[in-house]
Chains A and B, each alone.
Chain A
Amino acid sequence: MPYGSTTMPDQPPRASTVEFEHVTKVYATTARGTPGAVNDLSLHVPAGKICVLVGPSGCGKTTSLKMVNRLIEPTSGRILLDGVDAATRNVTELRRGIGYVIQQVGLFPHQTIGENVTTVPRLLGWPKARRRERAEELLQLVGLEPATYRDRYPSQLSGGERQRVGVARALAADPPVMLMDEPFGAVDPIVRERLQNEFLRLQEELAKTILFVTHDIDEAIKMGDLVAVMQGGGKLAQFGAPAEILANPASEFVARFVGADRGLKRLSLSRVADLELQSVVTARPGDDSAAARERTLADPFRYLLLVDAENRPIGWVDQDDFPTSGVLTEELASPMSPLLNRRATLKDALSQLLDADVQAGIVVDRAGGVLGLVTVEMVAERMRETTGESRFIDELLDPDDGLQRAGATA
């Protein structure tokens, strides 16, 4: 279920800047050191950006997050929201103006989904009719059919659905800042990836300022406009755009933390739509076979893609399989290579191609119409351009096999 298109109020997106100024949190030292401590953290997060705090457990990333809504008070230093010191604000009002999503979600088990998502509006004293309307908007926003979900209880939802409700609840009063503590950490990898993608699309419209905590560097690279890598003792190891951190790790620690496969990780930063797609010869069932064959033979690629009236792919036709006369039929088509969304990251696209054991995937738009092809070689070329790290990907390519297998699934 994709996130629906936005039905947020027709106002310009509200977002605040978030600044950490020499923020330190000291805990009494235990035998295992001081997990959760934060040491002189300074960060500036511009309005409307996602800043991911990433690091090993105990590095103070969650502590840093909770100091923003003052679930934890800093020992020293200041946190400014739009230039105003959070410590000077009424703590209840401050929290009602900050969206908060946690890994275990923490939905209220005794309230329906509709009541859950309108928690902050209720605290703010919105009238009932407006809350009901808002619940509808929010559920639609996160791709949950209001009529189906509004009156259910959290225990009747799957893990992924609960996470969506958690996000909807945090967005309820349109807060300028969101804090997300491993928000997709408790769901399985497939659901997580879908929630990540949907959330990024939502963020394109909402443009909130988001602080996002994760221990997963891949998630940090994918989600963050900015990434703050933290290390033990609550020290900031590096702060910058994901591409910069991957290209120039500031220290041995950062280099080890982002891992040896930095080149592969950089694929998460580009999307299929960023590539110049390879064109493909298409025809519809009912088109003249001889003419279609001629066009296919003229193309460097040996296959023709059969599409329906809406330009949605049906399957491949091998150049040797064309009837010498008559028209093309659907029966001629052999199974398709994977369909790739144009918004998919190159990393996800590569992984889909490798999983299906094919060299080319069909890129489609949101309506499912064919845009072109992406090949493993194109992805590899992109990696060579950006990193020079291509040994790994070269091993994946079998030059003798090349595009011959493009149409066939394993």
Chain B
Amino acid sequence: MIRWDWIVDHLDDIAFRTGQHLWLAAIAVVVGFVVSFGLALVIRRLPRLYSPITGVSGVLYTIPSIALFTALVPITGLSILTAEVPLVLYTLLIYVRNIVAGFQSVPAEVLEAADGMGFTPGRRLLEIEIPLAIPLMVSAIRIASVSTIGLVMILALLGDNLAALGFFIRDGISTFFPTKVYVGAVLSVALAFAADAMFVAIERAITPWTRARAARAVA
């Protein structure tokens, strides 16, 4: 049974853990994107690096998260780095593949036309390639944010400091107090949904051309 009185008494605590959860996930989603975007640009110049880079990030992805978090504790202690390094590494595979796919989705004739009209390589990247890669980049951000919000739960096993919403679930289980479990679970799911919905809205706002197709004229 849900103990509403407990929830009301602990609103401060719940707000803090929710904020912490969001913050930890957001750092990983942003840093992971920046690192991956850089790697994708490198791959764009040197396509033969695609296999090694996605191979390494694929291997990293297969390491169980608990193992990776705990393996870092001797090196980085219980600092925020211990939390963020694995979270970022797990986003790489999702990001790199999708950003590269985004660049590859730009039609060859569009690039040829751009070159033929006298775009410099930098302007071509900024004005043509990146905008056209947005749909695939945003879908990568959606997957990465949902999966990172889930992974942040595991941090509760490293102690109270960075426990985020996982704190309630861990505590709720060990003290047989279901209300805490519900609070942690419901809020983390809500965060994931909210993040996803926000990115869908952003994508719609910045890629009006993708919806124009539905309104295609017969002419």
Contact = CB atoms under 8 A, between A and B. Distances in A.
Interface of A: 69, 71, 91-98, 100, 102-111, 119-120, 123, 152-153, 155-158, 161, 169, 179
Contacts of A69: 116
Contact of A109 (B120, B209, B217): B209
B110 A156 contact: no
Given A95-B116, A152-B212, 14 more contacts: A96-B117, A105-B109, A106-B110, A107-B110, A107-B113, A108-B128, A110-B207, A120-B117, A123-B119, A152-B217, A153-B209, A155-B209, A157-B217, A157-B219
* 10 closest Cβ pairs, A-B complex: A106-B113, A95-B118, A100-B116, A96-B118, A104-B109, A106-B109, A153-B212, A153-B209, A155-B213, A110-B209
9 contacts: A71-B112, A92-B118, A100-B116, A106-B107, A106-B110, A106-B114, A110-B131, A119-B117, A156-B217
A89 B190 CA distance: 59
Given A105-B109, A106-B112, A157-B217, A100 B117 contact: yes
A71 B116 contact: yes
Contact of A123 (B111, B118, B213): B118
B48 interface: no
B8 interface: no
Interface of B: 107, 109-120, 123, 128, 131-132, 207-209, 212-213, 215-217, 219
B53 to A, nearest CB: 27
A100 B119 CA distance: 13
Contact of B110 (A109, A158, A179): A109
Contacts of B110: 106-109
B58 to A, nearest CB: 31
A110 B112 CA distance: 16
A75 to B, nearest CB: 20
A108 B132 CA distance: 9
B115 A156 contact: no
A107 B117 CA distance: 11
Contacts of A157: 217, 219
Contacts of B215: 156
B213 A156 contact: yes
B118 A105 contact: no
Contacts of B207: 110
Contacts of B213: 153, 155-156
B118 A120 contact: yes
A110 B123 CA distance: 15
A110 B132 contact: yes
A75 B181 CA distance: 72
A155 B112 contact: no
A360 to B, nearest CB: 34
Task: Name the residue among A69, A155, A169 with the largest chain B CB count within 10 angstroms.
Answer: A155
B209 A102 contact: no
A196 B113 CA distance: 21
B132 A109 contact: yes
B182 to A, nearest CB: 44
Contacts of B209: 109-111, 153, 155
A92 B116 contact: no
Contacts of A93: 118
A394 to B, nearest CB: 43
B115 A95 contact: yes
Given A106-B109, A158-B219, A123 B132 contact: no
A175 to B, nearest CB: 10
A100 B118 CA distance: 10
Contacts of B120: 92
A178 B102 CA distance: 32
A111 B209 CA distance: 7
Contacts of B212: 152-153, 155-156
Contact of B117 (A95, A105, A152): A95
A155 to B, nearest CB: 5
B82 to A, nearest CB: 41
B123 A123 contact: yes
B215 to A, nearest CB: 7
B5 to A, nearest CB: 54
B131 to A, nearest CB: 5
B2 to A, nearest CB: 48
A102 B109 contact: yes
A123 B119 CA distance: 7
A103 B208 CA distance: 26
- Greatest chain A CB density within 10 A among B110, B120, B215 is at B110
Contacts of A119: 117
A105 B123 contact: no
Contacts of A103: 109
A109 B114 CA distance: 12
B118 A94 contact: yes
